[in-house]
Amino acid sequence: MERVRILSLKRISKRQAAIIRQGQMEAAKVWMACRDMHLKARETNASWPGRKEYHEATAGGRYALHSQSVQQVFRAFDAAVEATGRNRRAGRKEIRYPYKDKRFFPLMWPAQAMGLEEKRIILPMGRDRSSLVLPRPAWLSRKSACKVVWNGLHNELHVTLVESTTDPNSQGITERCATVDFGQIHHAAVVTNNGNALVVSGRGMRTIKRLHSKHLGEIQKKRSRCKKGSRRWRKLGRARAERTLRHKRRICDLRHKGIRKVVDFCLYHGIQSGNPDGARRGACGRRHNQRMSQWEYGKDLDYLMQKSEQARIACFTGDERGTSSRCPECGHRHKPNGRNWRCPKCGFQGHRDVVGGVNRHPLAFGQVVPFPTRITYLRPGLCEGGPPE
């Protein structure tokens, strides 16, 4: 399993910062060269270039970068083209192939290009050029793939760590299973097949996101009255970047804690498999569209996959269409209002998100489970005195 650790480069020397800046500009030139090749092939109806053609066009020391860093850039471009093609074939024609000019692009190195000394990380910049030398953290025990990313205020080194999660004493999949329904008001609703459920509140993240949007609006209103490039214009831009970074850290912290409560709940009840899904689309008004655009469902799913793999829980995705609008007792379809699901046909009442989790069990595991008799409500970030109930 891969994990990413972040090393802040806020306090590096000006010389090192200049090396990074120049390298990022060279990486952007590699990206635009690949873009021009791909654009020309599309316009002339010629065969699209692949990694072999990109390699031939960028090799030979044409750019002031390490050869493997150049390879990482055109591989990233080729992956972007493939992802765009998949989306367009799936019907999303509004997604365009890479076409914009770039001034900067992240610097990347594979694991074999990294040099490790006792207290230093050495990242080569190419023949006859000074290498990028950074302090080595204690958690970095072996060579790993990495890249330098600009976060809006300063650069960060993102290091990819590969960890093994195999357990020789693992007993395999048990008969206990659970489904997970992600949402906005409630971050996650977990329903097991043994009569237990967990609802993790997401109101804290929702409040932080809305507050962040208001702050950005206030800053933009002030910035619109400034002359572009003035001291105050740059100062407000920096304030916007600082607020955005703080917002991302707070949201990331709450998301990790919320998913951790889900995994701990599954471990406590002996769960060995799960089925997370619940993405929704559709225009529903200006305010609701803003909330939906701020719903980072993909990150929730990714975090759950990672933490489940660490806990040796089998995790997979599935279809959730219609699960929140069907009564778990009589099967009557009804669009609920509010957080309490009421069936007008049989009179059933229950938590709306838990209803969706109950209806996913037949789709995921082929078994019908009763509505949970015990629902635990938790908020991410709060400390409990014992194991999850």
Residue pLDDT, tens place only, 69-121: 999 999 999 999 999 999 999 999 999 999 999 999 999 999 999 999 999 99
| Lookup: tokens for 11 | 């306090």
And the tokens for 76? 């990233």
| Token output for 335 | 């669009």
**Average pLDDT rounded to a whole number, residues 26-34:** 96
DSSP state of 193: T
pLDDT in tens, 159-213: 999 876 554 344 444 567 778 878 778 888 888 877 788 888 888 888 899 899 9
pLDDT greater than 90 at residue 311: no
Q: What is the reported pLDDT for 280?
A: 46
| 288 pLDDT above the threshold of 60 | no
- Among 348, 387, 334, 375, smallest CA distance to 189 is for 375
* pLDDT tier, 123 (very low <50, low <70, confident <90, very high otherwise): very high
Residue among 284, 267, 268, 266 at smallest CA distance from 276: 266
Top-confidence residue, 316 or 264: 264
Residue 44 has pLDDT above 60, yes or no: yes
In the prediction, which pLDDT does 189 show?
A: 85
**What pLDDT, on a 0 to 100 scale, did the predictor assign at position 21?**
96
Please report the pLDDT score of residue 45 as a whole number. Answer: 93
Q: What is the pLDDT of residue 162?
A: 82
Q: Do the bridges between strand 374-378 and strand 349-351 make them parallel or antiparallel, or are there none, so unpaired? A: unpaired
The one-letter amino acid at 146: C
54 pLDDT higher than 80 = yes
Please give the pLDDT value at position 122: 96
User: Is the backbone of residue 32 left (phi > 0), alpha (psi -120 to 50) or beta?
Assistant: alpha
pLDDT above 60 (res 283): no
Helical segments of the chain, H only: 14-43, 51-58, 67-89, 203-223, 231-268, 286-293, 297-310, 352-365
Of the candidate ranges 23-27, 147-151, 364-368, 376-380, the one whose mean pLDDT is the lowest: 364-368
